Amino acid sequence: MTSPAPAAPEVQALLAALDGQRRHILGILDGLSDEDLRRPVLPSGWSCLGLVQHLALDVERFWFQAVVTGDKDVIASLADIDNAWQVPDTTPTTDVLARYRTETARADAIAAASAPDTPLAWWPQDLFGDPHLHTLRDVLLHVLTETACHAGHLDAARELLDGRRWLVLT
C-alpha cells in the first residue's frame, strides 16, 4: 500500500492557517467550567459550547463533507440539525469538543486529498442562492475566515466570563 500524495503547497498553507485558528478556538476555552461553557454569553443566547458545535456541524462538516465532497448521507442529515448553536443539557461537553476535533480531522483529510482548484460537488442553492464559492480554495478561505471570526467571538466571551484573554500584544 502506498502513502497518499502530500497535499498541494497552497492547500498545506491554508490548512496550516486554519489549524492555528482551530487551536485558538479550543485554547481560549481551556479551563472554563462546564457551567461557563454552557452559559449564554450574549442576548442572542449562544454559549461557547454552542459556538463550537456550530463550527463542528455547520462549518467543518457542512462545507467539507457536504459541499466539497457531495456526501449524500451528510446532505440528507442536514435537515436533522435544528439549531447547532443550542447544545442539549444531556449532551456532554466532552462529546461536543470531541466532535469538533473529529470534524476538523475529516475536513483536513478531504482538503489534503484535493487540489486547490477542485470544483465543489454540491451547492446549497436553497440556502445561499447562486454559487459564490466554486473550488476547494474558496471553501478553505471561507472556513478560515469564519473560524477566525468565531475565535474573536470566543475571545470576547471568555473575557466577559472570567477576564482571561488569549493573546494580547501591547
pLDDT, tens digit, 9 for 90 and up, residues 48-88: 999 999 999 999 999 999 999 999 999 999 888 889 999 99
Q: How many helices (H) and strands (E) does the chain have?
A: 7, 0
**pLDDT at residue 137 greater than cutoff 60:** yes
Cα–Cα distance for residue pair 69/71, rounded to 1 Å: 5
List the grid coordinates of 121.
460537488
Domains of the chain from N-terminus onward: 9-162 (1.20.120.450)
* pLDDT range class, residue 167, cuts 50, 70, 90: confident
Query: Model pTM?
Result: 0.94
